[in-house]
Structure 1
Amino acid sequence: MNQPHVLIIEDDEHINNIIYDVLQKENFLCTQAFSGSEGKMHVHRQLYDLIILDLMLPGLSGEAFMDELRTKLMYDTPVIVLSAKEKLDHKLHLFDLGADDYVTKPFEVEELLARVNVHIKRNAKSELHASYRHKNLVFDSETRSVMIHQTVLNLTRQEYKIIELLVKNPTRVFTKQDLYELAWDEIYMGEDKTITVHISNIRHKIRQYDKENYIDTVWGIGFRLSK
């Protein structure tokens, strides 16, 4: 699989750097955030394979961040929570909010690394066999195909990636920069017509088999999956 991308949200610089160094040595791509607000900014602009989340954060608490992630963005990214609180009711509350795992501070980095690997492998396995349906469109991760009314669309790699981003994040509005950097894996250098042309091509290919609208233009912002 591709190099897994982990977001570390921890305001203690020493702890954040330790986690960063350990994961980097294990060939993970890591992004560091030192507040809940900074973490929120990152998830609005980038998709991650896993998030390591402290709770006592400046700006936006870990609980508030979790609510943003699960109920507003509707992301199912695995989240490992770091906290010094050990009471069972507190842990159960976090699982109710959408946490996938819980590591109590202070912790051994070996244990955290083991939990990270478990969730990355589990998520990769589920992604391999996942399929998503929107109206008459079916996106299949296992066969890497997109179908309309049982007809497989002939898509370029970037067109496929754009549809993948939209169907996996049905409530998110993607800017042109978001789509370019995620689908091309390159830095967006400014306004151009690349994304607009690709969206137009996708719409044309879908309309050959279905007159329904599948991609909405959010004027002044970008694109999202239609409602």
Structure 2
Amino acid sequence: MYEFKVQPHQILIVEDDEHINNIIKDVLQKENLRCTQAYSGTEAKLIAARDQFQLIILDLMLPGLSGEGFMQYLRDELKCDTPVIVLSAKDQLDQKLNLFELGAVDYVTKPFEVKELLARINVHLHRNTKTESSDHYRHKNLILNCTTRSVVVNQTELNVTRQEYRIIELLLKNPSRIFTKQDLYELGWDDMYMGEDKTITVHISNIRKKIKMYDDQTYIDTVWGIGFRLSP
């Protein structure tokens, strides 16, 4: 897991012009940024429902679902607040204002300079990382929000108990550490461990089941004879 500030940035490029899409991808990859490409609003919708991104670069004139329609889906249905930088030949003020109302954080008019786009991307990635790193932790498709004390997997909030939340928090904040049952009990319950029982094992099992409902990946490993740790 990993706190956002040490995660490789994942960027979704939604642009139906293959040449422009590839130019943006090549520039970002040279900056060690990871990219996923989509060539229609419909394809972007499927990808956004499946994966998490730190930034989305979005053209408006797309086949299938429009850029505006994709943003509405992102905000209204997925409840996703990922920053969106819009690329468009449209340059009227009222159109720009409408996009900002839909949730865009920036607007770049075509044709554009790649250096300018990259500068804007870096500004928003830095801003997003600075804001989120203090109270958000992420591992794979799981996000822990320390402010709201919520656990979200693939855009779905899990119904976790106080102890389950505390176990998840300990694991995500300490990704390389192996916790014994005594560690988890004393740190999670603020109480002295009284010897071997099944309390921790049951809570770990319940957490795994709740995550499994929305993601088949493994999140917690059992280290036999020692305890538990976050899965790599």
Contact 1:138/1:148 (8 A) holds in 2: no
Equivalent residues, number: 166
- 2:162 match: 148
CA contact (8 A) 1:35 1:58 kept: yes
Residue of structure 2 in register with 1:121 after alignment: 126
User: 1:72: which partner in 2?
Assistant: 77
SS at match of 2:79: coil
TM-score scaled by length of structure 2: 0.63
Superimposed CA distance per residue, residues 110-162 of structure 1 (whole angstroms, 9 cap, x where no aligned partner): 0000010011111111111234566xx467xxxxxx9938x97234747999x
SS in 2 for 1:154: helix
Distance, in Å, in 1 between the alignment partners of 2:50 and 2:174 is 19
- Root-mean-square deviation (CA, aligned residues, Å) is 3.2
> Residue 4 of structure 1: which of 9, 18, 26 is its match?
9
User: What are the ranges of 5 or more consecutive residues in structure 2 without an aligned counterpart?
Assistant: 1-5, 136-144, 152-159, 176-201, 216-232
Q: Letter of the 2:18 partner, please give it.
A: E
Rg (Cα) greater in structure: 2
Distance 2:119 2:165 in 1: 39
Match of 2:31 among 16, 22, 26: 26
Structure-2 residue corresponding to 1:89: 94
Query: CA contact under 8 A between 1:159 and 1:202: conserved in structure 2?
Result: no
What does 1:196-211 correspond to in 2, within 5 Å?
Answer: 200-202=205-207
Aligned to 2:44: 39
2:68 aligned counterpart, secondary structure:
helix
Distance change (3 Å), C-alpha of 1:44 and 1:203: closer
Inter-CA distance 160–35: structure 2 relative to 1 (3 Å threshold): farther
CA distance in 2, matches of 1:75, 1:160: 26
- Residue 167 of structure 2: SS of its match in structure 1? coil
Structure-1-length-normalised TM-score = 0.64
